[in-house]
Amino acid sequence: MPEVTQLGVFILCYLAFAQLALLQQSHRQKVWRSAAPAPARERWLRRSVATISFAGAPTALMTVDGPGFAVLLWFLLMAAAAIAVSLTLTWRPGLLRGLP
């Protein structure tokens, strides 16, 4: 059961980093091949989703692991998710096109 929670936290962190990456113009061009900047409402929504995901991740880990290990694991999963998003943007940016 803890593995499922850890995988869920990794996915939350991945989605949060992907949302933040799609706020940048260069990444938007890679994903959608469009030079149009994100509207203000979309920027606000993406930042809100990322913030909620980052806040919910350690909370979910603390239900399974102790607070000391949960924070350490959260940082490690965030680093892995950031690397995964950067690799996705490098090799297959079109995969992020399906994000809301």
Mean per-residue pLDDT of the chain: 91
Q: What is the pLDDT of residue 52?
A: 93
Q: How confident is the model at residue 2 (pLDDT cuts 50, 70, 90)?
A: confident
Q: What is the pLDDT of residues 34-83, one digit of tens each?
A: 767 888 998 999 999 999 999 999 999 998 888 889 999 999 999 999 99
Nearest to residue 22, comparing CAs of 81, 93, 80?
93
State which residues form the domain around 34: 2-98
User: 70-91 burial, b for 16+ CB within 10 Å, e for fewer?
Assistant: beebbeebbeebbeebeebbee
Q: Is pLDDT at 93 greater than 80 in this prediction?
A: yes
Report the number of distinct structural domains present in the chain. Answer: 1
Q: What is the pLDDT of residue 98?
A: 85
